[in-house]
Structure 1
Amino acid sequence: MTATPSNPTASAPSLWRLTLILGALSAFTPLAVDMYLPGLPALERTLATDSGGVQRTLSVFFLGLAIGQLVLGPLSDRYGRRGPLLVGNLLFIAASIACALAPTIDSLIAARFVQAFGSCAGMVISRAMVRDLFEPREGARVMSLLMLVTGVAPILAPLIGGYILAVFDWHAIFWLMAGIATLVMIAARLWLRETRGPQPDMRLTLGSALRVYADLLTTRRYMGYALASGFGLGGLFSYIAASPFVFIDLFHLSPQAFGWVFGINAVGIIGFSQVNRALLRRFTLDEVLIVALFVMASAGLLLLVCTGFSIGGIWGVWLPLFLYITSLGAVLPNAGASAMAAEAHRAGSAAALIGTLQFGLGAVTSGLVGLLAASPALGMGMIVAACGVAGLAARLTLAR
């Protein structure tokens, strides 16, 4: 694949090396979320808490991602991409160690917030680096390629977590996260080049950052695409929060079997992200995006019907979830690239706001799963359906 940099002054490394490093950095978030999912029921028991306390370790992580991106986006526009990226990496390593040593649920929740703050650096700055180097349509194809690397984490992480639990306890999962992050940081330090150097003439104050975000929030086209992406991920995060209790507690799968279920769903999003790359050779970003959003909304409504009326057992839950998650393979890269298309001059802030909307909605939806209904399956179905319909509506009404 030949890619043309949109910024002629940016040094574009090998596409595959760039993809591998940025994908690994972006994978910190799914790694930190998915690897310990099989251990949530055990964590509930060993820390003497309830399912609500355990789910707060997820919702506070999403909250940390939402806040951290708002800070790191403007910093990367002002001081360059690499510096904030490496600092965030170090923060993630330190917080992972703190999670491994956490003696109580409250200390784990606090460490998870800091871990999220560090992990979001790779996610938001990776998107900004792609925008630095590539035009929007090519950028969407590069983002799809990036998802091929990033998507390995949701497949392998729960499997690894499940098998770690067969030998060790949940603390070992966080020690492994710290080790993986250390290796990735070394690779980034050695081979990841700067794509946007420091901008000494750029004024960075709280007021200037807030003005940029306020302008983005009132840009209808940007917000239509950003919310389509955000609601899509909101549904995904409600599934992440509820799935261990649905599949392990309700359907009595082992942690190892749950890892396979979770991994197969992740294969769907990875596979369709590569189909999306091929589709973009023949169709526009919007044409592919709208079809994917219709599939996402339909799958969410089907899940609500199946969980509300207890149709199909485990298959009535798994298959609609698979369709919903698979559709995100086109929704996320295409909506993101479309939102960023006219924001090259403030790519870091624009990418940060997209991430904040995504994970802010994720914090809300993951926290609501256990509150909307007595059954976690029905609560998940309600939220996934609402997010699917809202994502489609945002694109059709705002980004016209």
Structure 2
Amino acid sequence: MNSPAPHIAGRSAAGAANAPPLGFREFVALIAGLMALTALGIDSMLPALPAIGEALGVASANERQYVITAFLIGFGVAQLVHGPLADRFGRKPILGLALAAYVIANVVAAFSGSFTLLLVARFVGGCAIAASRVVTVALVRDCYAGREMARVMSLAFIVFMAAPVIAPTFGQAVLLVGDWRVIFWGIAAVSAAILVWFWIRMPETQHPEDRLPLSPARLGSGYKLALTDRWSIGYTLASTALLGALYGYINSIQQILADTFHRADLLVPVFAATAGTMAVANLLNSSIVVRVGTRRISHTAVVVLILLAGAHLALAWAGFETLLTFAILQALMMACFGLATSNFGAMAMENMGHIAGTASSIQGFITVTGGALIGALIGQSFDGTTVPMYVGFFAAGLVALAIVAVAERGRLFRPT
């Protein structure tokens, strides 16, 4: 894997950052809101999976996980499309159209009369909202770079992580007064509100002279650069491994609480507690990353995650695991996950400023699609215990650390 040439088309390899188009707080809040739509589309489903299965004739608990997996695969695959389009036509029109399509997909899901139609609507919804991942990363990279980009992403993640806390609660509350279809109506309404906010307040962040043509040669060149720059591909693959473990957790958590610990009623508070530590970790990261550095923080976080996963796996194998130990260790692991992945994303984009949309698309395709497949494998391995999930976390941590070591040529924990 090679480093990019120091200058491309008269611009630095890192890419020049434009002035932010909004006040800092509103900019971060809007980015977080756009990102949170994905979490809302995933996590609000968790309490509803048994009800969806019962209503649409899906008896197998493992098959119900496809409601999550179909969304994630669409979310991953479509990122290959949104990035080049955003580099050619600008950030605003592509994201605006995608948000509108996401609203429509959730309306179709609300009307679904079969499991097949629901899965199709979920896949299409994932394809549409993929733009919120690709275009927001490119949008942030238009305005910030390096440690400042990591700071913005960490602050956005604090707000974004409210979605995993609120979404299952929202889903559970809906089931108390209505059926699972109302959840999709709620997602559509929130998405429409954020679409209006985005369209009114966010101007285009890409300069017209930075528009890139939709040509096979240009796309091939951009993909080649993103796939051969050692930081871009290294931190992308490391993120894929960690995201696979996270998706395995999301796929398995409802069954773990219901079948392993026989406390399905505690799904919402346990899931909220683990998501909350990710938000705290990102708050900490935003305050120290400029001073300490992305590498020291993220590399340390991966090492600690491996140790925690190993300890949890040993407890599960020995038969000493309780719901309390599960919640505590999982929460700590989620904090490490947050510290690692928010910085991995910034480092993967470090040399990609001039092709932010294209680079973000290929990186997102790899991390989300690969992570979804790994997560599906972990979820389908559920055997009534937490062992498959923590084998996944332990292996993912080791793989991520090995990949990072190669990308950094063995110089882990360095300050810059």
Q: How high is the TM-score relative to the length of structure 2?
A: 0.90
**Alpha-carbon distance in structure 1 between the residues aligned to 2:255 and 2:129:** 25
The aligned residue for residue 317 of structure 2 is 308
Q: In the alignment, is residue 149 of structure 1 matched against residue 153 of structure 2?
A: no
Give yes or no for contact 2:252–2:382 (8 Å, CA) kept in 1: no
Q: Deviations over 1:234-284 (max 9, x none)?
A: 1111000000000123222244x2111111111100001011122224312
Range that drifts further, 42-51 or 76-85? 42-51
The aligned residue for residue 3 of structure 1 is none
Give yes or no for contact 1:154–1:263 (8 Å, CA) kept in 2: yes
Tell me how far 1:224 sits from its aligned partner: 1.5
**Alpha-carbon distance in structure 2 between the residues aligned to 1:58 and 1:371:** 12
**Alpha-carbon distance in structure 2 between the residues aligned to 1:168 and 1:197:** 47
Q: 1:199 to 1:170 in 2, by over 3 A?
A: farther
The aligned residue for residue 364 of structure 1 is 373
Q: 1:318 to 1:283 in 2, by over 3 A?
A: same
User: Is there any run of 5+ residues in structure 1 with no aligned partner, and where?
Assistant: 1-5
Q: 1:187 to 1:59 in 2, by over 3 A?
A: same
Moved over 3 A (4+): 6-11, 197-201, 370-373
SS, match of residue 312 in structure 1: coil
Q: Deviations over 1:193-250 (max 9, x none)?
A: 2110445863213453244223322222221211222222111110000000001232
Give yes or no for contact 1:72–1:84 (8 Å, CA) kept in 2: yes
The aligned residue for residue 42 of structure 1 is 51
Range that drifts further, 324-333 or 341-350? 324-333
**Alpha-carbon distance in structure 1 between the residues aligned to 2:318 and 2:137:** 41
Q: 1:207 to 1:249 in 2, by over 3 A?
A: farther
Range that drifts further, 276-285 or 6-15? 6-15
The aligned residue for residue 64 of structure 2 is 54
The aligned residue for residue 158 of structure 1 is 168
Instruction: From 382, 393, 396, give the equivalent of 1:387.
Output: 396
The aligned residue for residue 34 of structure 2 is 25
Instruction: From 381, 399, 408, give the equivalent of 1:399.
Output: 408
Tell me how far 1:396 sits from its aligned partner: 1.2
Give yes or no for contact 2:248–2:379 (8 Å, CA) kept in 1: no
Give yes or no for contact 1:79–1:199 (8 Å, CA) kept in 2: no
The aligned residue for residue 354 of structure 2 is 345
SS, match of residue 193 in structure 1: coil
**Alpha-carbon distance in structure 2 between the residues aligned to 1:145 and 1:172:** 31
Give yes or no for contact 1:73–1:350 (8 Å, CA) kept in 2: yes
Q: In the alignment, is residue 241 of structure 1 matched against residue 251 of structure 2?
A: yes
Give yes or no for contact 2:87–2:357 (8 Å, CA) kept in 1: yes
Q: Percent identity?
A: 28
Aligned residues: 394
Q: In the alignment, is residue 212 of structure 1 matched against residue 222 of structure 2?
A: yes
Instruction: Report the AA paired with residue 32 of structure 2.
Output: G
Range that drifts further, 374-383 or 51-60? 374-383
Instruction: From 146, 164, 169, give the equivalent of 1:136.
Output: 146
Q: How high is the TM-score relative to the length of structure 1?
A: 0.94
Give yes or no for contact 1:144–1:274 (8 Å, CA) kept in 2: yes
SS, match of residue 25 in structure 1: helix
Q: In the alignment, is residue 262 of structure 1 matched against residue 277 of structure 2?
A: no
After superposition, residues 11-22 of structure 1 pair within 5 angstroms as: 11-22=20-31
Q: Deviations over 1:3-35 (max 9, x none)?
A: xxx746555210111111111111111000001
Q: Deviations over 1:354-385 (max 9, x none)?
A: 22222112221232124435235222122122
SS, match of residue 203 in structure 1: coil
Instruction: From 284, 297, 302, give the equivalent of 1:275.
Output: 284
